Amino acid sequence: MVSFKYLMQGALASAAGHLSIVQQIDSIRSVLSHCDISHDAGRIDLAQINNQIVPPSNLTLNFVGLAFGVQNYTCTQSNNFTNVGAVAELFDVSCLVNSTTLDTMPQSLFETWNATNGTSIQQFIDVFHTFNPPDILAQHYFVQNPTTGQGVSPKWDFTSSGNPQLVGNPDAIIVAKGKASIPAPQNATDINWLDVVNIGGAAGGKVADEVLRTSTVGGQPPTSCEFGKTEDISVKYTSFYWFFGGSLAQ
């Protein structure tokens, strides 16, 4: 099999600075088949924060995704930034859930991603999908709230991933609403840790019932801006997403 690194280098070699993120992704690639991690929910250690965000005890852990992407912000009339969505690519690191290297991945990947200039997250996603490697887990972005039609909701889209059980399945998504949010425990520059739940019904999809975002690195905007003058910004981040429940993963 032609290596993933070789293909990506061939696709991106003409642009300086692109290879570092590709090599970083390749160095932490998981086994090319989905691992049964249904008994590994205890791997998530959130005890150092509080009891606001805890792994759901009544749901099975089915996927762990390592994400790199951007948080998008716009300047408000109060001269501060407000979040208006995100775009990220998730790689399946489920098979590494018990690895000693798992905890270091978001920071290591962020350092490489943050140093990569000249290419948007969407351009990276487009290139990765040219080859559709099996360890792409999902894409993360925001959509109009399907329940109220107002505002936006986070969505994780598994329909074009490498998992043969999910590719092309219109139910292989989760659209979610917030359950809990707490400041990242390490640095003020890291975005919040989250617990979100399926929005419900057909609109919410069937790939997961609950998602945790942990181990965030980066993503916070500057503390102030000037309304009407400051342009919208995208701030790079990495994190883990933990997917629990969902009838498609059974």
- In tens, the pLDDT along 54-110 reads 888 889 999 999 999 999 999 999 999 999 999 999 988 888 887 778 888 899 889
* Sequence-separated (6 or more) residues with CB below 8 Å from residue 250: 60
The reported pLDDT for the residue numbered 250 is: 57
Average pLDDT in the chain: 82
pLDDT of residue 178: 94
N-to-C CA span, the chain = 30
pLDDT of residue 15: 35
User: pLDDT: is 92 or 242 the higher one?
Assistant: 242
| Residue range(s) defining the domain that contains residue 10 | 4-249
Q: What digits encode the pLDDT tens for the residues 3-57?
A: 334 323 433 433 334 455 555 555 554 444 567 787 776 666 665 455 678 888 8
Predicted model pTM: 0.86
The span from the CA of 121 to the CA of 67, in Å, is 11
Give the per-residue pLDDT at 12.
40
Contact 231, 43 (CB under 8 A): no
Q: How many folded domains does the chain comprise?
A: 1
Mean pLDDT of 196-221: 94
pLDDT of 134: 56
Share of the chain above pLDDT 70, in %: 78
